[in-house]
Amino acid sequence: MSTVLITGANRGLGLEFARQYKASGWEVIAACRDPVGADALGALGVEELALDVGEPAAIGAFGARLAGRALDLFICNAGVYGGKEGQQVLGQVDVAAWEHTFRINAIAPLKLTEALLPSLKAAKGARAVYVSSLMASMAENTSGGEYIYRSSKAALNAVIKSLSIDLAPLGITVAALHPGWVRTDMGGPNGMIDAPESITGLRRVIEALTPADSGRFLAYNGQEIPW
């Protein structure tokens, strides 16, 4: 049985990832800050582990907890949009919110990958995928604004690209994924698609990944996203 680890699994895209992989017969390790309060996740019958990706010490301890277990797939989904309403507008960008968002969206994914590396190496042909966003794309930025979120996801993409090179000799395939504009707590009610459609597409993209695809930036429908 293949094993997948999903972060930010208590709601939205992470919860749907957990639901679909569980239904497909995978062993699912679902990580979130408060598993006790994650009723919808608990109802799935997956393995739940506590993880606050904003705490560096917690990340190291989390990796140690999984020592000796092989991970076929790591889905780095935990993330935040950053700040309160108005704090990403030119002239009002909140520095504390920016720093916090960078810690969650760009630094934590790298430190988590470092912590999980023994488990990824233990699986043959493991994959590590990271939920990014079209808003990280320089080429697609035609509307400006959203400084905190855009820059944090662009930083994540830089991390992913370097990981794709550094992990290639270990046989680990790495990719950045755009889930689409999804109707979730983060995406809001005006999103263009629902979580099941997004995750169904992303799972199809993940399944098709080969080592030759490492370092690509792909949308849920398989479309290549320009950096």
pLDDT tens digits for range 44-58: 999 999 999 999 999
| Spans of all domains in the chain | 3-219
* H or E stretch covering 158: helix 147-166
* Percentages (nearest 5) of helix, strand, coil residues in the chain: 45, 15, 40
The structure's pTM equals: 0.94
Q: Which CATH class is domain 3-219?
A: alpha beta
Strands 73-76 and 47-50: unpaired
pLDDT on residue 194: 84
Grouping H, G, I as helix, E, B as strand and the rest as coil, residue 90 is: coil
- Residue-wise pLDDT for 117-143, tens only, equals 999 999 989 999 999 999 999 999 999
Query: Percentage of the chain with pLDDT > 70?
Result: 96
Q: In what order do the strands lie in the sheet with 27-32?
A: 47-50, 27-32, 3-7, 73-76, 127-131, 173-178, 216-219
